[in-house]
A and B are shown apart, each in its own frame.
Chain A
Amino acid sequence: MKLLIVEDDGALRRSINDYLKMEGHICETAQTLRQAIYKVADNKYDCIILDIGLPDGNGIDIIREMKSNKLTGGILILSARSSLDDKLTGLNTGADDYLTKPFHFAELSARINSIYRRNNLSGMNEIKFNEIRINTTDNLAYVNDNLLNLTKKEYDLLLFFMTNKDRIITKESIVEHLWGDEVTLTDSFDFVYTHVKNLRKKILASGSGNYIKCIYGFGYKFKDD
């Protein structure tokens, strides 16, 4: 995927850049509104990761620019405001999704992939990992073409793992992904543990390998041995 990262904070921009490159994406960066508008005009990006508060203007202007010039490409807003505010402002102008700062990279990755799948429906609605296959249009998961009977949360969890394979995923990021960041649950880590346990059991029962690994102190990693 070709991505443009528009973020004025240098440290954050470099982090996002490093992480997404690690994921195997091609990344370009812009730190001002002007730079971003030039880059958008000259290149075609699969997804733009856009910080709204830029030193020389509001990031929303880029979306307007793109819409008026009929430029395609997904837009993920990175916002320091809560998702509630963005319901009021940002999304109406045509962004695909928003993510509140601070975010987990696993979440960022999942959102970018989700936008990409939505914008490129031709044949891209399937994610595969060895014998596991997820159809994102029907929200169904298969192991060796046998349908897995998963609850909605278990399906979300599996999709989250598969879009972040070979990366450490913290329990917090799983909680925020499954229940939203407005929710604070005290014993949520136990729920994550139970959910992961149930998901692993179901996958193993259908004859798949054990890909969900426990990582000491942090959480989990979805990987092939």
Chain B
Amino acid sequence: MIASGVLLYFTIKRVIYRQIDNSLITEKTIIQDQIEQSDSIPDFEATFGHQIEVKLLDHTVHNFQSIKDTDIYDFRLNSFLPYRCIFCSGNTGQSKGYLITIFQILSEKEELLKDVSLYMFFLFLLLLLISILINYLIAWRLWRPFYYSVNKASNFNIQSDEPLDLPHTDINEFSRLNTVFSRMTRKMRNDYLNLKEFNENAAHEIQTPLAVIRSKTDLLMQNKNLKKESIDLIKSINDATTKLFRLNQGLLLISKIENQYFDEKGRVSLKQIIENCLDNYKEIMQLKNISTKMEASDDAIIEINEGLADILISNLISNAVRYNIDGGFIKCHVDDICIIFTNSGLPLLTDPEKLFMRFQKGNDNPQSVGLGLSIVKKIVDTYGMKITYSSHDNIHEIKLIYSQNANSKGHSMTIS
């Protein structure tokens, strides 16, 4: 657009110049002819509005002609005005030279050029705007189904009940895209639902045979005439069944938390949950001579599924008890931002980074299945909370930040 504008400007300029030059040359030729015929300076009545200067010389000169731009000072306007001038020299038949200079004022022509350019500029600008608008409208119409699809796809949640429903569009490419999108997400959803169903079914189907094994071993145990070897065999069957049961239950719980199975929420008092849980472990802690100290504010409320809150706290406390030492301590601090469990214990053998991963066991204890802390992590992630572990001189600290606005609160506290 700009290039063509510039081109147009120069073309018009050239046309104007050529016209001026032509008229100057014609004028000059006429004058030249007159001089050569009459050997004298002719009258300049028909001058086409040019200023003409003619000089006759007594000697011959070279034939010469040039056209150029020049500025001439105008006394009336007190400024230089642009002129186009033709200068030519030649000889008449009587070996007399002459010089002709013809000036044509350019200011009118320049103004014309300026006006034309200005009009052209606005015309171009208008065209530009219109074309942008049309482009935009076309793009909007053309891409509307695409952006609609993209928006829908980005809001698509595999766990929600609604499939990705994309409308029909007249544009072939997008219609194909939508079909592919729909087919893909439908397959994804189906796979997901199948997997989910499989998980639940598997759990159900595994629990019943497990119950059969356990009930049969229970019955077998009641038999009064068992030999020592049989007792040992039954005992290992029983141990393995228990472990399998725990494993199955733990994995099932994790997958259910992942699937947002426990979406019912309630307002739960942390102090109460922790007190109940500590009470449940009271005797065990007494046996290990573990002392407990708790400082909790009454109004520490967490919005969470009650069952999950129990599991969360009880897993953390059972860990603090399990990995404690004889005569150790458990400290619990609760405020309206976080819960901090501090406990004594042996040095951590596993990598602290991997602490919250599945099947990480704190020590080589055959009874533990290593799911406790990964269940904790799952719950913490589901509710957008944060959990960190740190240790120092065999004092372990688990910090659970449960308040959503922990950052802003912490910030305002440091300011005040």
Q: What residues make up the interface of A, taking CB atoms closer than 8 Å to B?
A: 9, 11-12, 15-16, 18-19, 22, 53, 78, 80-82, 84-85, 87-88, 100-106, 151, 153, 167-168, 170, 172, 179-188, 190-191, 194-195, 216-218
- Docked pose: A1 CA to B283 CA in angstroms: 35
Q: Which residues of A contact B234 (CB under 8 A)?
A: 217-218
Whether B307 lies near A185 (C-beta < 8 A) is: no
Residue B280 is within 8 A (CB to CB) of chain A in the complex? yes
**When the two chains form their complex, are residues A53 and B231 in contact, meaning their CB atoms are under 8 A apart?**
no
Determine if B204 is an interface residue (Cβ-Cβ < 8 Å). Answer: yes
Interface residue SS majority, chain B? helix
From A19, A78, A179, A185, contact of B219 by CB (8 A): A19
Q: Which of B12-20, B361-369, B402-410 contacts A (4 or more CB under 8 A)?
A: B361-369
> How far is the CB of A222 from the nearest CB of chain B, in Å?
13
Residue contact B222 to A172, C-beta cutoff 8 Å = no
For B369, list chain A residues within 8 Å (CB): 184
Chain A residues positioned under 8 Å from B214 (CB to CB): 102-104
Cβ of B321 within 8 Å of any chain A Cβ, yes or no, is yes
Distance in Å: Cβ of A169 to nearest Cβ of chain B: 9
- Given known pairs A80-B203, A153-B283, A181-B249, the reply for A102 and B213 (CB within 8 Å) is yes
- State in angstroms the CA–CA spacing of A19 and B372 once bound together: 33
CA of A181 to CA of B242, assembled, Å: 10
Contacts A84-B262, A168-B222, A184-B318 hold; do A102 and B245 have CB atoms under 8 A apart? yes
* A-contact 0/1 string along B302-340, CB 8 Å cutoff: 000011101100100010011000000000000000000
A12 adjacent to B212 (CB under 8 Å): yes
Q: Does B141 contact A (CB under 8 A)?
A: no
A105-B218 contact given A84-B307, A187-B322, CB 8 Å threshold: yes
Given contacts A19-B218, A151-B283, 7 further A-B contacts (CB under 8 A): A88-B307, A105-B218, A183-B318, A184-B368, A186-B363, A216-B228, A216-B231
When distances are taken between beta carbons in the complex, the residues of chain A under 8 Å from B318 are 183-185
Contact with A along B245-284 (1 / 0, CB 8 A): 1100100110010000110100000000000000010011
Q: Are B314 and A183 in contact (CB under 8 A)?
A: yes
Q: Are A182 and B311 in contact (CB under 8 A)?
A: yes
User: Given A80-B203, A185-B321 in contact, is the A12-B231 Cβ separation under 8 Å?
Assistant: no
CA distance A16 to B216 in the complex (A): 9
Give the CA-CA distance A191 to B281 in the complex, in Å.
Answer: 11
State how many angstroms separate the Cβ of A49 from the closest Cβ of chain B: 12
Q: Are B249 and A170 in contact (CB under 8 A)?
A: no
Name the one of B215, B222, B235, B306 contacting A217, with C-beta atoms under 8 angstroms: B235
- CB of A22 within 8 A of CB of B222, answer yes
| Known contacts A80-B208, A81-B204, A103-B214: A87-B307 contact under CB 8 Å | yes
Q: For residue A87, which residues in chain B have a CB less than 8 angstroms away from its CB?
A: 306-307
Residues of A within 8 Å of B211, CB to CB, are 9, 12, 78, 80, 101-103
Q: How distant is B259 from chain A, measured CB to nearest CB, in Å?
A: 12
Judging by beta carbons under 8 Å apart, are B252 and A82 in contact?
A: yes
